[in-house]
């Protein structure tokens, strides 16, 4: 089982404009089932459309445009202060360094498939010499017992909600509360990798602030469910955020102007923050359609956010041909890539966005009819 997850790590394939046949066919479809639309310059142009050209740029982290947005997000997350960062990678490494320095320890704990462990070229270790304790195994969520057993010489525990690389799974809220209480008692800082925090609020039926209250520090992203350009917010107590600004300067993240990201973050936050329930319901519907197909299953079976993984019990090359045929026939695209798990299995990641609602229902029915038939033929 563990072996499987090692090789199912996504590396941005779903976004790269590869020149393979599946990517090309996907781009030619009239409707795409996933996402908000192609990532093109129009995304920025739309965000800027109604902005006042005379509005002043932020300057090295200062100015109304950045301070207003930081204040808005601090309030939304229920934290004292918030700082805008170019990226979550930068924000989270800095977070762990600050908590390590504060505790005089150089050890943190997190899931073996969290972003910081697998997508950042070991930045945490190379830049900070911080050691990581990997909790749980690659196939499942961190549970309370993992936390109790991790030892007490840990400066910070990072939890990623939802755990993306296993399809976007979530612990129940009571588990979160137990972990938070335990960490608090033991003096271990608890950090939330909330790259997809907005997307899980409908499932927990909680406000962002109610969830963030369990954590000492929180990072959220603006280019996943929100669909902005890039950028992140790091929130916590003022002591913590002020120190994070010093590190932001050290990292070269304190750019003279971050406003293209801020304006788009704010614009798409306003546009989409109230659509997360709809995306979740659509993810449930779509996952149901996949799970009715022969030799296809979703992970998790019932999505807890707008995302899930689709696992095909068949070889990648065969599935690519199948999908291309379906796209050509229906004009509807499911994905632009497949990732091989083994010779006879592959998967891809779904993130529901604005586009799902525009898919003609009749067309979607046809897609799944063809997909089911093809999988039956394939497995005969």
Stretch that binds a second copy, among 45-53, 76-84, 188-196, 363-371 (CB under 8 A): 45-53
* Interface residue with a second copy, options 22, 33, 34, 90 (CB under 8 A): 90
Residue 249 binds to a second copy (criterion: CB under 8 A): yes
Between helices 316-330 and 21-28, what is the axis angle to 10°?
A: 20
C-alpha distance from residue 4 to each of 121, 143, 166, 190, 207 (Å): 21, 21, 11, 29, 35
* Residue 85: CB minimum distance to a second copy, A: 8
Q: Which residue has tokens 């997000």?
A: 73
Cβ(269)–Cβ(222) below 8 Å: yes
> Is residue 298 a contact point for a second copy (CB under 8 A)?
no
Cβ atoms of 307 and 162 within 8 Å: the answer is yes
Q: Which member of 35, 88, 112, 202 binds a second copy (CB under 8 A)?
A: 88
| Cα–Cα distance for residue pair 150/8, rounded to 1 Å | 26
> What are the backbone dihedrals phi and psi of residue 332, each rounded to the nearest 5 degrees, phi first?
-115, 130
233, two tokens: 């917010």
Stretch that binds a second copy, among 179-187, 260-268, 301-309, 322-330 (CB under 8 A): 260-268
Measured torsion, CA atoms of residues 66, 70, 73, 78, in degrees rounded to the nearest 10: -170
Question: Is 53 an interacting residue with respect to a second copy (CB under 8 A)?
Answer: yes
Q: Rank residues 261 and 290 by Cβ distance to a second copy and give the closer one.
A: 261
Per-residue contact flags (x/-) with a second copy for residues 348 to 377, judged by CB under 8 A = ------------------------------
Asked if residues 225 and 276 have their Cβ atoms less than 8 Å apart, the reply is yes
How many binding residues for a second copy (CB under 8 A)? Answer: 58
Residue 122 as a binder of a second copy (CB under 8 A): the answer is yes
CB–CB of 170/159 below 8 Å?
A: no
Minimum Å distance from CB 81 to a second copy?
A: 19
Closest distance to a second copy from the beta carbon of 213 (Å)? 26
Can you give the binding site for a second copy, defined by CB under 8 A?
Answer: 12, 15-17, 38-45, 48, 51-57, 59-60, 62-63, 85-91, 93, 120-123, 126-128, 223, 229-230, 246-247, 249-261, 263
């Amino acid at each position: 089982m563990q072996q499987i997850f090692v090789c199912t790590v996504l590396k941005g394939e779903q976004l790269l404009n590869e020149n393979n046949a599946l990517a090309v066919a996907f781009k030619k479809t009239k409707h795409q089932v996933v996402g908000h639309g192609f990532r093109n310059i129009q995304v920025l142009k739309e965000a800027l459309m109604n902005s006042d050209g005379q509005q002043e740029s932020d300057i090295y982290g200062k100015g109304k445009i950045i301070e207003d947005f930081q204040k808005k997000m601090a309030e939304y997350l229920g934290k004292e202060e918030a700082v805008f960062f170019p990226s979550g990678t930068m924000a989270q490494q800095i977070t762990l360094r600050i908590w390590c320095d504060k505790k005089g320890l150089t050890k943190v704990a997190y899931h073996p498939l969290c972003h910081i462990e697998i997508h950042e070229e070991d930045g945490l270790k190379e830049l900070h010499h911080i050691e990581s304790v990997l909790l749980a195994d690659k196939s499942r969520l961190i549970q309370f017992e993992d936390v109790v057993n991790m030892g007490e010489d840990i400066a910070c525990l990072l939890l990623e909600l939802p755990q993306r690389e296993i399809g976007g799974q979530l612990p129940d809220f009571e588990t979160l509360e137990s972990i938070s209480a335990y960490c608090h008692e033991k003096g271990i800082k608890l950090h939330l990798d909330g790259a997809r925090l907005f997307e899980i609020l409908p499932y927990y039926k909680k406000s962002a602030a109610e969830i963030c209250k369990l954590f000492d520090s929180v990072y959220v992203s603006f280019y996943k469910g929100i669909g902005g350009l890039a950028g992140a917010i790091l929130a916590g107590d003022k002591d913590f955020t002020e120190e994070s600004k010093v590190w932001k300067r050290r990292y070269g993240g304190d750019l003279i102007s971050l406003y293209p990201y801020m304006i788009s973050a704010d614009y798409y936050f306003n546009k989409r923050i109230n659509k997360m329930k709809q995306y979740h319901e659509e993810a449930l519907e779509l996952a149901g359609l996949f799970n009715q197909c022969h030799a296809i299953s979703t992970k998790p079976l019932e999505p807890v956010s707008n995302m899930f993984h689709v696992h095909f019990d068949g070889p990648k090359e065969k599935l690519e041909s199948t999908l291309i045929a379906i796209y050509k026939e229906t004009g509807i695209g499911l994905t632009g890539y497949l990732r091989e798990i083994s010779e006879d299995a592959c998967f891809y990641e779904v993130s529901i966005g604005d586009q799902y609602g525009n898919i003609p229902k009749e067309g979607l029915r046809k897609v799944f009819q063809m997909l089911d038939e093809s999988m039956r033929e394939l497995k005969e």
